[in-house]
A and B are shown apart, each in its own frame.
Chain A
Amino acid sequence: MKAKILILGSGFAGHTAVLHLTKLVGKEAEITVVSPSNRFTWFPSLVWVGNGTMRSESCHFQLAPVYERIGVRYIAGRATAIYPHARKVEVRGDDGKTSSESYDFLLNATGPHLNFEGTPGLGPATGNTTSICTVEHAEDTARHYSDVVRSAEHGSRQRMVIGTGHAMATCEGAAFEYLMNVDFDLRQRGIRDKVDLVWLSNEPEPGDFGVDGIEAIKGGSLVTGASLIRGLLDKHEIRAILPAGISKVEPGKLHYEEVGSDPAILDYDFAMLIPQFRGVYLKYLAEDGSDLGPAMTQASGFMNVDANYTPKSYESYRGDDWPATYQSPKYDNIYAAGIAFAPPHPLSKPKKTASGMAVVATTPRTGMASGIMGRTVALNIADQIHGKKPQHHERLSEMPSACIASMGKSLWNGSAASIVMVPTARDYQRFPKYGRDVKLSELEIGLAGAWTKRAMHTAFMWKLQARPGWSLIPE
């Protein structure tokens, strides 16, 4: 009897887990993926789709043919409820029909609910602001961006605000990439002087990116992300407002609170603002129908795993608070990875505005980190199928992260910030001075980064389509 593995979601964590599971236990298990989207999107390239320098078709592919080729069953639909005792998941198919899928092992990799409604007036649906969180959003952003460009070319001064649309949003790095790509594109077009660019972010300081900043030893001295990004913003004449949280959006007006200042209103012509992320709408139900949600999730809707969720002060946070195996503490056959798992605390220092608004750059759990988590879960499920306890661990405070932040797509005169953090979350027990290995970490800006960013796009689009040699390319 084959073990049944059910994967909810097909993003970085879910899809990476699927690939490794087919390699690890493909002959011993029946692998099923439930995902509302028959499409894998290489999200890091949406920063280029959003300013019209890349066609959206270049950064996504159809999943169903890939799954058919590697022997994975695919269900186009959305999980609506998990019944942990009965080991089954209720699925609402894209055709509107409801079915029940049983499992022996379950991975919740459902990603985020984009919580635009968390900030009144925010989001593409309102027409007030745009986003680059999905292909459709990025395409919509590109249309708005071309309007701004047209107006600026006709001599009308424009103000573009780019950053985070909620005081507790995440993915500041993606928003920053978009900002720098817009700056680059406007310079290429010769209209940069017609556009006021504003970086409005919930980060405690420039270059924090939700990971409590970055630093590396360069040429024998310590370089910090804060000084590098601050210098970059000055050099490119970009006004920075941070740490700040947006409280409300009206057509052409952003209401925001900056820490240490009174609430203010900023007029704008274009705003690309990343929303807060929350857990997707998914019920956790007992056999009698009672709600297991409070025991299995945090208030954010993200699923509890083997992290230390004990509330404590920022100064008391530890590297080993972060989950190791991504296994549910209540059900040893359920895992959560990627954005779907509940982080124990933020990495960045929380701030508060005068009115009491908590301004916190929430920990990013996308891209490389999500892929590594997906692989770790795959290894642990394989362990369990082979009658062992999960033996693989990869805390955020253990795993390295590489982030190539584009600052201009051109392979001739473009640029990117190449960032490597070892490990991702600071661990002062292991690295007492900085919490990271600053000799191994990297932080540099240059044309080489633009090449690396483009090379990663090509390499990962190959790997994630499970093409020959995919496993040679790491997460």
Chain B
Amino acid sequence: MSSFWQQFIPYQLWRYVRMNVKIYLLAKGFIGPAHASHADIGKG
């Protein structure tokens, strides 16, 4: 990562939002390969 991009706050904000959304969707099971269903939390 060049120091320019390191300090270019709008770019970093974009990476922050993108990464957090991606991690959230993966962790919730909304994207990515099928794994244990998160949807049935609460249904037992």
Contact = CB atoms under 8 A, between A and B. Distances in A.
Interface of A: 20, 23-25, 368, 372, 375-376, 379, 382-383, 385-386, 388, 392-395, 398-400, 402, 413, 415, 418, 420, 422-423, 430, 437, 440, 442, 444-449, 451-452, 455, 471, 474-475
Contact of B1 (A25, A446, A452): A446
Given A379-B40, A392-B36, A446-B6, A440 B13 contact: no
A451 B26 contact: no
Interface string B23-44: 1101110011101111011101
B30 to A, nearest CB: 10
Q: Which 5 A-B residue pairings sit nearest by Cβ, starting from the closest?
A: A474-B27, A448-B15, A448-B16, A398-B35, A394-B36
A379 B41 contact: yes
A422 B12 contact: no
Q: Classify the interface of chain B: helix, strand, loop or mixed.
A: helix
A444 B15 contact: yes
Contact of B44 (A25, A413, A422, A452): A25
Given A395-B35, A400-B26, A447-B12, 8 more contacts: A23-B42, A386-B44, A398-B35, A420-B22, A420-B23, A444-B15, A446-B5, A448-B12
A423 B26 contact: no
Contacts of A382: 44
A263 B9 CA distance: 48
A392 B37 contact: yes
B20 A452 contact: yes
B35 A423 contact: yes
Interface of B: 1, 5-7, 9, 12-16, 19-20, 22-24, 26-28, 31-33, 35-38, 40-42, 44
A416 to B, nearest CB: 10
Nearest to B31: A440
A382 B24 CA distance: 25
15 contacts: A23-B42, A376-B36, A392-B36, A393-B35, A400-B35, A402-B27, A415-B1, A420-B19, A423-B33, A423-B35, A440-B26, A440-B32, A444-B1, A444-B19, A448-B12
Contacts of B40: 379, 392
B41 A23 contact: yes
A402 B34 CA distance: 17
A393 B1 contact: no
A380 B23 CA distance: 24
Given A386-B44, A447-B12, A402 B33 contact: no
Contacts of B35: 393-395, 398-400, 423
Given A398-B33, A400-B32, A422-B33, A446 B12 contact: yes
Contacts of A452: 16, 19-20, 23
A23 B40 CA distance: 12
B17 to A, nearest CB: 8
Contacts of B28: 474
Nearest to A423: B33
Contact of A415 (B6, B26, B37): B6
A388 B38 CA distance: 18
Contact of B6 (A24, A440, A447, A471): A447
A289 B9 CA distance: 64
A23 B33 CA distance: 26
A446 B6 CA distance: 6
Given A394-B35, A420-B26, A448 B44 contact: no
Contacts of A386: 44
Given A376-B36, A393-B36, A444-B15, A24 B42 contact: yes
